[in-house]
Every structure is written in structure tokens, then in C-alpha cells.
Structure 1
Amino acid sequence: MSAEIKGLNEECGIFGVWQDEHAAERTYFGLHSLQHRGQEGAGIVTVQANGRLLEHKGLGLLADAFSKPEQLAQLTGPCAIGHVRYGTAGTHGIENIQPFLFHFAQEDVALAHNGNLTNAVSLRTELEQDGAIFRTDSDTEVLMHLIQRQKGADFKARLKASLREIKGGFAYLVLTKNALYAALDPNGFRPLVVGRLDNGAYIVCSETCALDTVGAHFIRDVQPGELITIDDSGYHCEPFTTETQLSICSMEYIYFARPDSTIYGVNIHQARQRMGRRLAQESPVDADIVVGVPNSSLSAASGYALESGLPDELGLIKNQYSARTFIQPTQELREQGVRMKLAAVKAVVAGKKVALVDDSIVRGTTSNYIVRLLKEAGAKSVHLLISSPPLKYPCFYGIDIENTQELMAANYTIPEMCAKIGADSLHFLSLEGLIDAIDLPSHEPNRGLCVAYFNGDYPTPLYDYAATFKQPKTATKVMQ
């Protein structure tokens, strides 16, 4: 993370296991189910019999990082943490692939992080002035330097004190020879869950889909401001702060999380289907068929079709071997990814008025291409329906929604967006409709959701980002 803040940081997946004889393999399979959360690199760290920690990590997909059997086989030991990374700040080299492994005189410590710290630049400057030497330009490394700076011999006490110093969105896994620690920021921006295998081993990971993949039973969601300690005596929960307010990222429900995952009691597929139903109630269109943009919009499309009484058709085919365009690091790669990943089914859309359902419009690249694709395949008209409100504001808590200048809805009105995309009409789900559709069982503001990307109402101070934040041209309110 550089001193000049230009964009955002990572949306990643983390997985940890304690006391499983197949810890590395279990972590590999868990990370595979979290691959949608990061595609730039992957790594695994295990605790060896001698108490030392051993790592392997590499660039690319998990299968690329672990392309040789011996790379996984060498990671022996019953405890492990792993990470799949996507980053938009800093460099994309191997040095920024996590987990980070630190060899200290007292013991080895490994660290994996999903999220983004909003005061990392200030803390890093302060730490460097105190003599800290950073190996990477990732904000993740800040936590370890804070731990080392704390007074006191007890590692957990130093960890808790350090967690109180950092701000923003974070889900951390910290591994030592004695324990696996999991910590969630005071707003719970990023999801984190605890599960258990039939053999008694504990699992901590980003989504419940990873628990299902490795055969673990769900125990609980990690709560905002909570530190979980897992050791040979079991697992223990305690707050590291009492100043908490649930503000889980609404984009997890809209786009990021897998449909088979459940976050704070809400299944992702069912939430997206309700978004589609509400969108049909708010924005009925003159159409013959409903077509969802695969894969993350298929649930919303089914909801729109159910509510509107229109047939839900397979009008677009996704190449399952292409990368997600939202989480590609450059615009050129994003455009190439769109061309590679989608094709229209001409026999389905030709001569039809299409209600095209997608989950979001970020830069407009994908939407423009898909509308053109359907019309070239013979669609009579294409009405674009988005199952979330317009994205006008950047995220500072760990999602790849770039700066305001790159957000289409921040710079153009909805009619202008419609004209640029080439759709016959363009409709968005209302903010109220989104909150109602997700239906979190919470009494916190916005029912426990962070919706700052839509209304600029950030649940925390922006710290290092405040000075560089620029209001959208289409903003309707002043950010508090």
C-alpha cells in the first residue's frame, strides 16, 4: 500500500485448520472452494513437528501455485492456514502473496488477511519511524509489526492490543505453534465462520461453502470485534473491543459470496432471488424472456422470472474456464476477459424482447458488451435490470470497487448510462429494496449491512482515505 492512495485493496479468501492429520490437503480443498475470492496467488503455511512453520506459495490460481504434488506433500503437520489473494494496491509479485511467515527469535508466526485497513499508511509511517522494516507493500504486514511493538510477553494480549489500533475491514488468521487465532473487525465487514470436522479438528474460513467442501459442520459466525482462540483445549471466544456495530458488506450478498454460502443466517442464493423478485416488483418491463448474466446473476434472474411470470431462459453461456472480469487488475485484462467468457444462445434470444438481469454495473465494460452481444444475436430489445442500486462510491474496506472516477454511476445519470451501454432501458433495485431482500436479522443501522457504495454513508471514519476522497458527480447527498 503506497502513501498515495489511488484505489482499493484486496478481496481475498482465508482458511485455517487446527489438529487435522491432513491439514495441508484440507486447506488446499478449502481454498479451492474460495477461489472466487482471489485469483492472483495462493499460499499455505503449516506447523511442523518441531514447532517451526513451513510455507509454500505461488502466483496464479491455486492449481498454478501448487502445480507439483511435492509442493503440497512437503507441508506436513496437523495445523495450517491458507490464503487466495486478489490485490489492487501495491505490487502483484510473489512477495505480496499470503500467508506471510515471520521467523522471530521466540517463535514463528504466520498471518493471513482478508480486507483493507483504512489507517495503514499512517501506521506504517509511524512504525517505520520507530525502526520497523517492511518486506512488502501490503497493509497486512502492519499488524505483525504492531504485535512486536506491544509490551508484555503474552502473545494473545499483544494481538488484542494491536487489533484495537488498526481500523477498517479485516478478517485475520494468525498461526503459531501453540494456537490458531481468528479476528474480525468491529463492523464485521468481511465474513468469517467457524466449523468442526468429525475428527474433532476446527476450521475457520471466509465462507460456509468451504466448510461444506471439506466436510465440516458449521458452528457459528465470528462476530464483529471478536477474537477466536483455537488450541488443543478447544476454541474460545472473547471480544477485543466492545465498540462494535454489524455492517457486513452488502456486496458479499450481491456478488462476491458463493450462492451456497450462508452469512449471518442468510443464504446467498435465496437473498439474490429475493433481490430479483423485488426488482420485478419495482421495475416491470415489456419482455418475452428473462436472461441472467452467468454466474452470479442467475439467482436474481430466477427471482425476476418467478415474480414477473416470464420464462427464465439460458440466453448466455459462460466459459467456465475464464476469470471473473470484476476481479482483474487492469482494464485491458477486464475487456479481454469479457470477450473470452460469454456467448449468446442465438436460438433462444433471436426475435425476443429480453429482460437482462445483472447484479451490478461497475465500469460499464461488461454491460455494454453483453447488450451488444444479445442484439447481434438477434434480440429485438434488451432491457437491462440491475439487482442492486447504482454503485457511486468506492469501498474502503476490502472490495475491488475502484476510485470514483472509474465508477460509471458516479459520473453519469441513469439515462446517460443507458445510452452509453446501448440498452433499451436501464433499471436498478432501490436501496430499500436491497436491504429488505437481504433481510438480515439485525437491528443495527441498515439492518446490519454496509451500503456505503450506494449512498456514501460510511459506517466508520475514512482515516487515511478522507483527504483523497472525491464526491461522485452524480452524488445526491454530502458524505458525513
Structure 2
Amino acid sequence: MAEKILLERNIKEACGIFGIISRDSSELARKVYFGLFALQHRGQESAGIAVSYQKDKAVYYKNMGLVNDVFKEAELELLPPTTVAVGHVRYSTTGSSNVVNAQPVVFYGKKGRMAVAHNGNVVNANQIKAQMLDKGHIFQSSIDSEVIAARINYHIKDDLVGGIVAACEEFLGAFSLLVMAEGKLVAVRDRHGLKPLIIGKTPEGEIVAASESCALDAIGAEIVRDVKPGEVLVIDENLEMQSRFLKNIEPKFCIFEYVYISRSDSVLNGVSVYEARYKCGRMLAELFKIDADLVAGVPDSALVCAKGYSDVSGIPMVDAISKNRYVGRTFIQPSQSVRENSVSLKLNAFRSNIEGKRIILIDDSIVRGTTSKKIISLLRKNGAKEIHMLVGSPIVGHPCYFGVDMQTREELVGGKITKDDICKKIGADSLNYIPLECLKTACGGGGFCAACFDGNYPDSVTDDETGKFIFE
């Protein structure tokens, strides 16, 4: 018997960007479409594609909704054959959810028609925008991505790349960018490399840039390498690549990409997301030996972690929860009020598998605690005898200002109460988290931004610089 629960996930993901360039003109928009489809998990509010023609002109289409809803055959036919194209799927960390704020940002600039696709959150964009408004500049949207585009155009003299570098030196926070101009594709990561950006090559020889390697797989492209932190990588019409670098490079990759945001079949900075999550599960089994009958993971991102725990502990992994795969994911809805009223994500509990059983329940993270409480309540209603919760990340006690939509300490259960109090709040028999150092080891041991766990931010941030609606 399966009993349903409405699940309101408490974190939203990062935007997804995809770009492609070729020597010969072809229907690249269709390849961008497939790439965005593979990145749909990173944003479900809007989708857009822009294509270049005659080097200084561009055609684009963007609208609200999922990729396959925005782009039917008629919309794809509006986008002509091209040598350069960029695309974007969005969820809003800055700016409200409407079509004006959809990306790519396409504009007439000093190099003709240009386009910018952005993943991240520029925390000083509000101050930059205010300065530009004082000088007479106008804006149509309420997103930081338009500020990025405007500042790039402002700094362009004769050299496109010089303008991009000068603008990016001013930005604080997270930004992975794709810029389409002059028949070129320019891929940029901020000096910390907070958000992912990877380069690939198709069998036809086209060069691709994408947020995750799973998007390269979608069009049969092979991984070439990651864009480096602080790198401004220019790919010209001959597919030759040249790099310039920003100043003060200090790698601090967002560790939450491994925990939750990225797809498990992606590879980030040379590290398999699947392997990182699996290692976390194995470490949890070594750290927390619990007498139980079965292990269960919360779909989808915690399933790999649960497998790791089961393999080491010898306790069988059983389907306790089933996810309805024919509905959307409420945790990337644009506001908490919409998430709470949405029925776009449901979980089912299997009574026959869990009745009378002691369960080790594994999830990737606990943010507000409301989801964990509902799941545990559901399992108890279906006969679970004990529920011991393990989490594949440390306590989330600090806001994220760099592109994950958990921007105030007040909304984080780990920012207000102790671990024991969280355990009582969610109704578990026990609760334990993986230590941060273990998580870092599982993710390759490199330099990370783990500010949501330890409060150590890579850039100085104040509350008045942040907030989703600061431009509205």
C-alpha cells in the first residue's frame, strides 16, 4: 500500500547555461534545446535560446515554463541556422519570476547584438546598478544578469574580451557566464569558481560550454576540461581557444553542488558527483553504526548516499519511499508560498516494506526541517517502528548569498536550534550529520565554499547587499 505526502522541498537550485559554437552554420538551436533539457533540474521557471547570425545580429526566444513547453517545433523553427548559440534555464535567486527576467539577456551593444547567460548571484550588483542609474542608464528587468550585461558593454572599448575582463573584476559573488558576440563564444567563471562550467567537444567538432557534464552527454559531446576559476575563455569562429584570467584567483567551489544541486551522473572539477555521494554514505556507515532492519534514501539525490551506507553496513537498502516522476519539483518554485500550495511533487510510502521495521533514513540535507518532519510522520503512519536519520552534509546553519536560494538565517532550522532539538522537531529517534571534513574528502578534498555549513564566505557580504528582490 502506498500513502501519499505532498513534499515541499526547501532549497532551490542554480540556473543552467549551455552554449555551442561551430565553424559551419547549422541548426545549433536544437542541440542547445537538448542541452537545456539535460539541465532542467537546475531551473524550471523559464527557458530561452539565442542564436547569432551575421556576427553582429541575434535572434532569440524565451518564455516561462519547462524547456519542452517553451520550445515546440514552431519555436525552434524561428531560430535560424547559426555558428553560435546560447541557452538558459532559470530559477530566480535575484528578481521575480516573470518573462521579463528570463534569460539569455539579449541587447544591442557596442559589438552589435549580444547575449549573456548567467548562473550565480553577483552580490554587489545592487550598488553597481545604482551607480549606472545615476549616470542615466536604464534597465528593463530586476535581475543581476542585466547588470552584468550592461557593465560588460560599458567597459568595451575596441576589445570585447577586455570589456568582459574589466567588468568581471568589479563583480563580487558567483558568476559563470556565457557571452555571445562578434561570432565568438566567451565562457567565464568568477575568481573563486563558485559555480560549475565545463567545456566539451562534439563528434562534429563543435565546442560546447555547459553548467554540467550531463548536458554534454545529451548531445554526444566529450569532456575537454573545466573552465578554470577566474578564467575568461574565448572561442573564436575558427574554434581556437585563448584565455585571460581575472586577478586574485582563490578557488572556492560550491560544495553544495555535490551534495544536492548537480545531477549524480555529472562530473564536476574532475570528481564524479555519484562517487562523492557514495563515499559520503560509506563514511556515514563507518561513523554511525546503528542497529536497524533497513536503509532507505529520500529520492533522488540521497539514494546514492544510502547505497554507500548499505554496502558498508550490510543492512539491506529497501524502497521505503517512492517519488512520483510525472510531476514537477516544488523545491524550485519561485517562492515559499507557491511551494507550500503546490502539489507538483509527491512521495509515497510503502507500508509492506517498512511496517514494524527499524529504518535508517538518509537525506542529502536538512534546511528548514519541514520536509524531514513530513516524511518521518508518513513513515510512522505506515508502521515504521524506529526512524534514525542520517544526513549526507553538515548542519545548514548559514545563509547562501551565491546562488542557492536560502538567503536568511531565520529560515534555516540549523541556524536557530541544536542538533538534538532538530531531532525532536522532525520526530526522529536519532539524528546525525556527516562532518564537514569528511564531506570535503568525499568531494575530492579541494578548495570549497562551504559557507552554508561553516559561515566562512569567500567574499565579504552584508545583508543589505543581498536578497532576491533587491532590484524591485
TM class by shorter chain equals: over 0.9
Paired with 2:430 and 2:406, the residues of 1 have a C-alpha distance of: 24
Structure 2 partner of 1:154:
159
Paired with 1:235 and 1:457, the residues of 2 have a C-alpha distance of: 38
Structure 1 partner of 2:319:
314
Q: Is residue 2:75 matched to residue 1:71?
A: yes
- 1:247, CA displacement in angstroms? 0.8
Paired with 2:411 and 2:69, the residues of 1 have a C-alpha distance of: 31
Q: Letter of the aligned partner of 1:393 in structure 2?
A: H
Q: Structure 2 stretches of 5 or more lacking a match? A: 1-10, 468-472
Structure 2 partner of 1:141:
146
Give a deviation string over 1:295-336, Cα, whole Å, max 9, x none. Answer: 110010001111211001111100112333432223343345
* Structure 1 stretch displaced more, 57-66 or 101-110: 101-110
Structure 2 partner of 1:17:
20
Structure 1 partner of 2:8:
none
Q: Is residue 2:441 matched to residue 1:433?
A: no
Q: How does 1:37-436 map to 2 (within 5 A)?
A: 37-49=42-54, 51-66=56-71, 68-76=72-80, 77-104=82-109, 106-150=111-155, 152-337=157-342, 340-436=345-441
* Structure 1 stretch displaced more, 179-188 or 51-60: 51-60
Matched position secondary structure for 1:255: helix
Contact 2:328 2:344 in 1 (8 A): no
Give a deviation string over 1:18-72, Cα, whole Å, max 9, x none. Answer: 0261210000000000000000000000113574201111111111212x31101
Paired with 2:157 and 2:313, the residues of 1 have a C-alpha distance of: 62
TM-score, length basis structure 1: 0.91
Q: Tell me how many residue pairs correspond in the alignment.
A: 455
- 1:202, CA displacement in angstroms? 0.7
Paired with 1:340 and 1:259, the residues of 2 have a C-alpha distance of: 20
- 1:10, CA displacement in angstroms? 7.0
Q: Letter of the aligned partner of 1:167 in structure 2?
A: L
Seen in structure 2, the aligned counterparts of structure 1 residues 71 and 339 have a Cα distance that, compared at 3 Å, is closer
Structure 2 partner of 1:4:
none
Give a deviation string over 1:46-101, Cα, whole Å, max 9, x none. Answer: 113574201111111111212x3110111112321000000033221100000011
Structure 2 partner of 1:455:
454
* Structure 1 stretch displaced more, 194-203 or 338-347: 338-347
Percent sequence identity over aligned pairs: 41
Paired with 1:235 and 1:395, the residues of 2 have a C-alpha distance of: 37
Q: Letter of the aligned partner of 1:70 in structure 2?
A: A
Q: Letter of the aligned partner of 1:172 in structure 2?
A: L
- 1:339, CA displacement in angstroms? 8.1
Cα RMSD (Å):
2.0
Paired with 2:262 and 2:360, the residues of 1 have a C-alpha distance of: 24
Q: Letter of the aligned partner of 1:201 in structure 2?
A: E
Contact 1:335 1:366 in 2 (8 A): no
Matched position secondary structure for 2:224: strand
Seen in structure 2, the aligned counterparts of structure 1 residues 264 and 411 have a Cα distance that, compared at 3 Å, is same
Paired with 2:341 and 2:320, the residues of 1 have a C-alpha distance of: 21
* Structure 1 stretch displaced more, 167-176 or 9-18: 9-18
Paired with 2:110 and 2:262, the residues of 1 have a C-alpha distance of: 39
Contact 2:93 2:121 in 1 (8 A): no
Which 4+ residue blocks in structure 1 deviate beyond 6 angstroms? 466-469
TM-score, length basis structure 2: 0.92
Paired with 2:107 and 2:439, the residues of 1 have a C-alpha distance of: 42
Seen in structure 2, the aligned counterparts of structure 1 residues 427 and 106 have a Cα distance that, compared at 3 Å, is closer
* Structure 1 stretch displaced more, 353-362 or 155-164: 155-164
Paired with 1:231 and 1:294, the residues of 2 have a C-alpha distance of: 42
Matched position secondary structure for 2:327: coil
Contact 2:190 2:229 in 1 (8 A): yes
Contact 2:401 2:407 in 1 (8 A): no
- 1:337, CA displacement in angstroms? 4.9
Paired with 2:12 and 2:390, the residues of 1 have a C-alpha distance of: 28
Paired with 1:454 and 1:410, the residues of 2 have a C-alpha distance of: 10
Matched position secondary structure for 1:281: helix
- 1:143, CA displacement in angstroms? 1.7
Seen in structure 2, the aligned counterparts of structure 1 residues 26 and 150 have a Cα distance that, compared at 3 Å, is same
